[in-house]
């Protein structure tokens, strides 16, 4: 099946911004650079749709049998219409924002103990002063971006960063700072009818600050696979209840803090395609689900 792909890799910025998101020229260049690092997504004969006007010839994508967005955000669907294409069915944008926020997985009880959403600066400073060190995360940060390490007592620079994130995102996700020993990813595809497909477990390669640098099959990692497989089923069920359908990926980690060690099967959920989604299923494709 020939697929036309619209890789709006800045979708998380659109979740944070809300309706009316406009991609800056600088971000358009970054997205173009990031697209080269997507692993195993495009199959033989597939086409990459241009994100911006004038980036490609119409003949390059006409005749595709299927259209898939990185995330079917309002700007992505508008771009498809501008290209003369009929957008595929998509979840409501409010659903996309909600299930991609860091705090959405918290009620499932599979995340890192101590993680919480803070809504106000005063609350944040009180909580952060009660323990630490902490990892601060934007509600819609991605690939290690929008994160900051914070000691027990936030300094002036920390406080400014905290205030900015809360003002812009309506809250800030915080969790205990830990050392990541191993990072894993497991992907799923949820159909509109509720059929869940599961990919293969991947070992994630992370750089400084937790930035994603690559992935590879996690051969022999039986315990992480079992734990994350159970998490995938629960997340898939919850996503369906929210009205979401399509691709999603889970991040899990083996971690250490002092002498304490543990495994977190659901650090985050990305309800969209991911950089390693194609590798997580099979080279050059996704499940044959409309």
Number of domains in the chain: 3
Alpha-carbon span 271 to 81, nearest angstrom:
23
Provide the H-helix boundaries in 54-136. 74-82, 93-100, 121-128
Residues 54, 64 share a domain: yes
Are 156 and 255 within one domain? no
H or E segment at 241? helix 222-242
Q: Report yes or no: 261 and 254 within 8 Å, Cβ to Cβ.
A: yes
Residue 63 lies in domain? 3-90
Q: What is the rounded average pLDDT for all residues in the chain?
A: 89
Taking residues 225-249, report their average pLDDT.
Answer: 97
Q: Could you report the per-residue pLDDT of 103-137, keeping only the tens digit for each?
A: 999 999 999 999 999 999 999 988 888 887 999 99
- Average pLDDT rounded to a whole number, residues 49-61: 68
Question: 210 and 136 in one domain?
Answer: no
CATH classification at residue 200: 3.30.470.20
For residues 190 and 38, which has the higher predicted lDDT (pLDDT)?
190
Whether the predicted pLDDT of 289 surpasses 70: no
Same domain, 125 and 263: no
In a domain, 289, yes or no: no
The reply to whether 183 falls in a domain is yes
Whether residues 142 and 219 share a domain: the answer is no
CA separation, residue 31 to residues 5, 34, 35, 70, 111 (Å) = 14, 5, 6, 12, 29
CATH code, 153: 3.30.1490.20
Would you report the helix, strand and coil content of the chain in percent, each value rounded to 5?
A: 35, 25, 40
- Do 273 and 184 belong together in one domain? yes
């Amino acid at each position: 099946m020939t697929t036309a792909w619209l890789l709006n890799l800045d979708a998380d910025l659109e979740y944070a911004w809300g309706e009316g998101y406009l991609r800056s020229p600088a971000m358009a260049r970054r997205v173009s650079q990031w697209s080269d690092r997507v692993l195993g997504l495009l199959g033989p004969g597939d086409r990459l749709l241009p994100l911006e006007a004038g980036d490609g010839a119409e003949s390059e994508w006409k005749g595709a049998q299927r259209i898939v967005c990185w995330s079917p955000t309002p700007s992505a669907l508008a771009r498809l219409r501008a290209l003369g294409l009929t957008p595929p069915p998509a979840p409501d944008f409010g659903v996309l924002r909600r299930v991609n926020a860091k705090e959405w997985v918290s009620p499932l009880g599979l995340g890192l103990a101590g993680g919480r959403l803070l809504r106000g600066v005063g609350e944040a400073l009180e909580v952060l002063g009660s323990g630490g060190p902490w990892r601060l995360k934007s509600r819609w940060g991605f690939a290690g971006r929008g994160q900051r390490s914070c000691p027990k007592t936030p300094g002036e620079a920390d406080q400014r960063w905290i205030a900015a994130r809360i003002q812009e995102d309506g809250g800030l996700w915080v969790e205990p700072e830990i050392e990541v020993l191993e990072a894993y990813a497991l992907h799923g595809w949820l159909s509109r009818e509720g059929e869940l497909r599961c990919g293969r477990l991947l070992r994630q390669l992370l750089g400084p600050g937790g930035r994603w640098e690559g992935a590879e099959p996690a051969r022999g990692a039986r315990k992480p696979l079992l734990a994350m497989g159970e998490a995938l089923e629960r997340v898939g069920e919850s996503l369906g209840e929210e009205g979401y359908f399509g691709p999603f990926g889970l991040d899990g980690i083996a971690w250490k803090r002092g002498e304490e060690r543990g495994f977190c099967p659901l650090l985050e959920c990305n309800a969209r395609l991911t950089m390693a989604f194609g590798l997580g299923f099979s080279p050059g494709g996704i499940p044959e689900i409309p």
